[in-house]
Chain A
């Protein structure tokens, strides 16, 4: 500690008076709590309520719910319904990622993550072999070379997600039960505006090499560019934990 300005004595009256003033400020602000609140614009409140209604409706009207309702129709015979159900169940596994994710890459990665982490979204392919994964991803419409960063975690498989209609690869790692999902998007798709990257994130990546942020659940969002691939990691691990797993200098 620098003791250059350390006083030799403390005036208790002065300290007491300062405490009194600080308390008075606190009370003054607290008493004006209601007056200090800024009125929410009516349009904003209305817009939020509408957005919530739309979000709820879009979840409610998922294609699976529609399919199940159709199966339940009395006009459909039992045998037909059973067969349809089997097809639907098969489709759940085959095409559950066919629902397109939003065009903004970080939103897409964040939206895709919970299902991958909990296991409710099954991996399209389970393998630790990079060649196998790359071949699968190429066969399913991913048009760029897949980047496998050096991560102190186990490569467990990959998914193909549709981001605004564009097939994008997500490779998935596991470390002690935690998930590290890496969504990869060809830079050309951003340049052509087929998909978007939030300008603040893009600026960070351009000027600081990467963008780190905590997610709502204290997880991590980590974005960087490797050659021409924009890489977006979402993990349930915290930022310092994620950064310790990656060989950052090699990214």
Chain B
């Protein structure tokens, strides 16, 4: 048992920060997040003999956390979207980009975002978008792992990520504006941040 515990501690405990961060962003409450992480570790330890050695322990822990979260905090789990629907939506999102603020952003504005702004922008995302951004861009899970985690086809993962990043771009643009950057035509936007065509040019 000591060996098992040592192995578990070596494999599982290094992911505590990732799990806790994810739990905080999922529950939006630090006490609930702490309960969730504690429960996750106890369940994981109980079922550690079932963990397939050599596979991704972090992904396994995240799955346990998600199941605990659904059991504890969500009354019903949403039926998975179909890839067809998301593919169509992504298509529309792509062609209609002039309708959102991302069309007036350049990479420099995004690059210059403050850590706090990025954190707030992520926290403000709806859960399904928040989840994929955290899993992909912060926790570096593969599309396959994310698809398994959210129980959706890979196409849906790609689509959600694309939409989530566009929403983030919009939020970061808003923060940039508050920090003194202005939209094209208002005179203060750095040259390199002015898009080739402004929102107004589209209409």
Q: Which residues of A contact B10 (CB under 8 A)?
A: none
Which positions in B face A, CB cutoff 8 Å? 1-2, 4-5, 8-9, 13, 16-18, 20-21, 24, 30, 34, 37-38, 41-43, 45-47, 50, 63-64, 67, 70-73, 75-77, 88, 92, 94-98, 102-103, 105-107, 110-111, 113, 115, 118-119, 122, 133, 136-138, 140, 161-162, 165-166, 168-169, 172, 195-197
CA distance A37 to B94 in the complex (A): 31
Q: Which residues of B contact A53 (CB under 8 A)?
A: 5
Evaluate contact between A40 and B118: CB separation under 8 angstroms. no
Evaluate contact between B64 and A38: CB separation under 8 angstroms. no
CA distance A47 to B35 in the complex (A): 10
12 A–B contact pairs at CB < 8 A? Answer: A21-B107, A25-B172, A29-B138, A47-B38, A48-B16, A52-B8, A52-B9, A56-B4, A207-B75, A213-B67, A217-B47, A221-B71
How many chain-A residues does the 8 Å CB contact rule pick out? 55
Evaluate contact between A204 and B75: CB separation under 8 angstroms. yes
Among A5, A37, A47, A59: residue with most chain B CB under 10 A: A37
B-contacting 9-mer, from A9-17, A127-135, A160-168, A227-235: A9-17
> Given that A36-B119, A37-B21, A216-B43 are contacting pairs, would A18 and B103 also be in contact in the complex, using a CB cutoff of 8 Å?
yes
Evaluate contact between A30 and B97: CB separation under 8 angstroms. no
CA distance A20 to B17 in the complex (A): 31
Evaluate contact between B38 and A38: CB separation under 8 angstroms. no
Evaluate contact between A33 and B195: CB separation under 8 angstroms. no
Evaluate contact between A198 and B42: CB separation under 8 angstroms. no
Evaluate contact between A25 and B37: CB separation under 8 angstroms. no
Q: At the interface, yes or no: A22 with Cβ under 8 Å from chain B?
A: yes
Q: Which residues of B contact A221 (CB under 8 A)?
A: 71
Evaluate contact between B162 and A52: CB separation under 8 angstroms. no
Q: Which residues of A contact B169 (CB under 8 A)?
A: 21-22, 24-25
A65 to chain B, nearest CB (A): 10
Q: At the interface, yes or no: A39 with Cβ under 8 Å from chain B?
A: yes
> Given that A5-B92, A56-B2 are contacting pairs, would A217 and B50 also be in contact in the complex, using a CB cutoff of 8 Å?
yes
Given known contacts A18-B97, A30-B137, A201-B71, what 16 new A-B pairs fall within 8 Å (CB)? A7-B95, A14-B197, A15-B95, A18-B103, A20-B107, A22-B165, A22-B169, A24-B110, A29-B168, A36-B122, A44-B34, A48-B37, A48-B41, A207-B75, A215-B67, A216-B47
Among A1, A30, A38, A221: residue with most chain B CB under 10 A: A38
Main secondary structure of the interface of A (DSSP, over half): helix
Evaluate contact between A55 and B46: CB separation under 8 angstroms. yes
Q: At the interface, yes or no: A100 with Cβ under 8 Å from chain B?
A: no
Evaluate contact between A51 and B41: CB separation under 8 angstroms. yes
Evaluate contact between A208 and B172: CB separation under 8 angstroms. no
B30 to chain A, nearest CB (A): 8
CA distance A204 to B70 in the complex (A): 12
Q: Which residues of A contact B196 (CB under 8 A)?
A: 13, 17
Q: At the interface, yes or no: A250 with Cβ under 8 Å from chain B?
A: no
A51 to chain B, nearest CB (A): 6
A45 to chain B, nearest CB (A): 6
Q: Which residues of A contact B67 (CB under 8 A)?
A: 213-216
Q: Which residues of A contact B34 (CB under 8 A)?
A: 41, 44
Q: At the interface, yes or no: A87 with Cβ under 8 Å from chain B?
A: no
CA distance A25 to B67 in the complex (A): 29
Evaluate contact between B37 and A52: CB separation under 8 angstroms. no
> Given that A40-B20, A213-B67, A216-B63 are contacting pairs, would A29 and B118 also be in contact in the complex, using a CB cutoff of 8 Å?
yes
